[in-house]
Structures are given as C-alpha cells and as structure tokens.
Amino acid sequence: MEEIKDKTASTKARKTPTKIKNSATKCFLGSNNGTFLARLVLGLLLIFLVLTLTGFEFRWEKSFPFWSFQRKNISTEKSNQNSSLPKDLLNSAPLSTNLQEEEDLTVSVVEKYSPAVVSIIISKDMPKFEQYSFNPFGFDPFFDGGSGFFDDFFGQEMPNPNGRGNNNGGTEKVEIGGGTGFIVSKDGMIVTNKHVVSDDKAEYTVILSDGKKYSAKVLGRARNTDVAVIKIDPQNPQEGEGAKELETVALGDSSKVKIGQTAIAIGNALGEFRNTVSKGIVSGLSRNITAGGNGGAEELDQLIQTDAAINQGNSGGPLINLKGEVIGINVAIAAGAQNIGFAIPINSVKNIIQSVTEKGKISQPYIGVRYAIINKEIKERNNLPFDYGALVVRGEQLTDLAVIPGSPADKAGLAENDIILEVDGKKIDEKNSLVKIISELEVGQEIELKVWRKGEIKSFKLKIEEAPQSE
C-alpha cells in the first residue's frame, strides 16, 4: 500500500506542473506561440497601412458589428482639403451630376431651332470703280522679296481697299452688311432688329440654314424700340424649289427670366459665320443703354444682359433658354468690354408680332414725348424734387423737340421740363419705364398722367394714338 501511495503521489507531482503549465499558457505567450501571434499582428498592421495608403477608408458599420472598408475618392478629398470653404458647405455643395443633361438639352435646342434662325444679307447698288491689284504688305522684302509668294496666294487681281480707281460709270450690287433674324410664322414672317433693315434703298436677302436664298420685304419698323419685321415667300426662293414648311421658334416669357440661368445665342457672326452658336448665362436684367450704330443712337431700356458671345452680325438673332424658348432679341454689345451683350425682352415684341399678323403693319401706342428717367443720381445732380419719374427733355439735335407737335402729349398740354410721375397710378422708375408702360396699352385708350410742374402736382388726361411709322 505504501508503494501504491507513493506512485499516486508521484503522479500528482508530475501532473501538478502540467496544470501550472496549462494555466500559464492562458496568461502568457510561450516562445513559439508568441512569435506566431506577433507576426500575425504585425502582418495585419502592415495590411492596414497598405490599404490606407492606397485609398481605402475604414468605418464601423452599425448594422453589422464588424469593421469594413471601401475605396475613397482621393481626388475629391484632396480638393476638399485644399479648399478654404467650410467642411459643411463642401459636403452640402451640389455635385455636377447634371452637366451631361444640360449638354444634351443644349444640343437638342440648337438642333431643333437652328433651322428657324436666318442670315440677312444687306445689298445695295454702289458706283462701279476700276480695281487695282496691290501687295497687302507694301514693299517689305521680308514678306515679298521677289518670290511671288503673295501673288500666288492672293492672286494677281486683288482689289485695293485703300484707294479705288476711276469711276467707269454704272453701278454694281455690293453686300454692305449683314444681320440675323428668326422665323415666327410658317408663312415666312421674320423678326430682326430695326437697325439691320433700316435702309429703304437697300435690298435684303434671307438665307436659311439649308443655304436657300429668298428676297425679303420689310413689313414694318418699330418706332420706340429696335425691332423690325420682314417677310419672305417660302414658295419662291431665288433659286431651286421652295420650302415645303418653314421651321419656327417658340416664344417664351421674358418676365420669368432669372439671373444665372443658361442663355444660348444663335446668329450670323461677323456677317460670315452663319448659325454660330454661343452659350452663357443671363448676367443682368433691366439694363438701360444708349446703343449707337449706322450714324445714330437709340435709347434702349429694360434689356437682358448676357455673357453669351454676341458679335457683329448677331443683331436680330434669338437669345434662347434651355426650354427652347426665345427670351430676347440680341441687339447690342458693350464697347471695350468682353462678354457683355444685350437683348430686347421678347415680351415687348409680342404685341408687334401680333400687330403685323392682324393688320399687316406695326401698330404701336404713342403719346409723343422725349424723356429721361430720373434716379437718385440725376435728382441730386439737377436738384430735382423726385428720384423717380420721366423728365420731359429735348434730344441731342435741335429738331429733337421734347414734345412732338400734334402728338397726344402736345394736345393734352404737356411741356418741356415736366416730370411725369405716374400713368394710371403706375409709378415710373428705372424698372418700370414710360415706354414699357405705354407699350402695354391699346391705341385709343384714355389714360391719366400724374405730372409735377414748377412745384405743383397736376393731372393730364390724354388718348393713346397709333405711332407714326418709323422712317
């Protein structure tokens, strides 16, 4: 029995270290296992570092209790980090996800309405002169040197633009200018600028987008704005077969135009590049300018300003929104500036189109005064009692009387230096000019004017008449 007890004891003695060893394994790393786990952890850290450097983002998913990773947009993040904008603003800023949609709309509008945009060529009988050839670079040996290069390039019979020869008698048809217009009716009615078709002695040729040419007749020129209406016979081109059906534009509502919205201009740029398209935005509203051209000047107000490129030759062309609606007629550019063009709001043209459609001529309401809109600057400079209203004044020429003799204003008793404050209760100011208010009235309508004269407020009643046809 003692021997058995001894074995038992020795067995326990041998097992005890085993238990200690096993329990120690749970608390400490042994030499072999510790090396394996260390390598595992280091490997995981290395993988984590590599994934981070290559643009992966680690995040904790609440819906599933494990770490997950996804690829980051490195370029976007870097641009955001370099930006000085607040982080919240960057995160909420709209992305350019609609650029393709806007491009598609632009292409669609241009394809649909370009056929309704026409080029207008101005021709006139001019005295016929003999032509002399010349070297455009004079006698500079660098450009000539006896090589005959410019003779080959320009031809032997190049006309001299600086000095014509002797008049050999007779006349010849010469293109003297060009502009743009757009078709508003299937029977050939076209809207353009008045200054494009201002010469009664000139001939006007309309060229469609397909190259067909038509002789055009001027139906009317507006008196108080730079708008004219001409007409072609679709069935009677100068050459070839007539058009089966003319494409027309859709007219929009210029009162709904907003600054910043897209604007597309189509026109006969420089009188040479037909159906040229440019795109920009509406950069201003209610602009008042003095536009000069053809030896004269004209006051234009309530214009739409755009940075869409408008060049010489674009006059009379449409300014179109992304819905494919005409919102204005391109009319002028700012001299000495870049990308500042102006268009007449289409709403002020709709009554002209309607008048020509119904009466065959432009019938416009008219009271017969020349005026200047008063603002704060004009009030202070001239010590006037109001910073709004229309000051009745003479024009630049001695014959430009303030009140037109025999006009409704003359019959009612208005005089130079009167200030017209209101028309039927509507206040006159820079955003609501006298021309704009009168243009919305009907011929034959009776109105009441609130007028300041020499320190007194007076009322004048008059009857709207039809404006004389513009010369």
- For residue 253, CA distances in Å to 160, 323, 349, 404 come to 49, 11, 11, 33
**Which pair of tokens denotes residue 137?**
């670079």
**Which pair of tokens denotes residue 352?**
């002209």
* Nearest residue to 116 (alpha-carbon basis) of 213, 209, 252: 209
Burial class (CB in 10 A: 0-12, 13-18, 19+), 152: exposed
CA distance 212 to 199: 23
Task: Give SS3 for 327.
Answer: strand
Cβ atoms of 237 and 256 within 8 Å: the answer is no
- For residue 225, CA distances in Å to 241, 328, 360, 388 come to 36, 13, 18, 22
Torsion of CA 220, 222, 223, 227, to 10 degrees: -130
**b (16+ CB within 10 A) / e for 36-74:** eeeeeeeeeeeeeeeeeeeeeeeeeeeeeeeeeeeeeee
CA distance 226 to 298: 8
CA distance 327 to 304: 9
CA distance 180 to 205: 11
Estimate to the nearest angstrom the gap between the alpha carbon of 181 and the chain centroid. Answer: 16
- For residue 390, CA distances in Å to 8, 344, 468 come to 125, 21, 22
Task: Give SS3 for 419.
Answer: strand
C-alpha distance across the termini of the chain, in Å: 145
Non-local CB neighbours of 470 within 8 Å, separated by 6+ positions: 194, 220, 221, 222, 223
Residues labelled as active-site residues: 195, 226, 315
Task: For residue 82, give the H/E element and its range.
Answer: helix 74-82
Q: In this structure, what are the phi and psi dihedrals at residue 204, rounded to the nearest 5 degrees?
A: -120, 130
The DSSP-derived string for 424-439 is: TTEEPBTTB-HHHHHH
Estimate to the nearest angstrom the gap between the alpha carbon of 103 and the chain centroid. Answer: 15
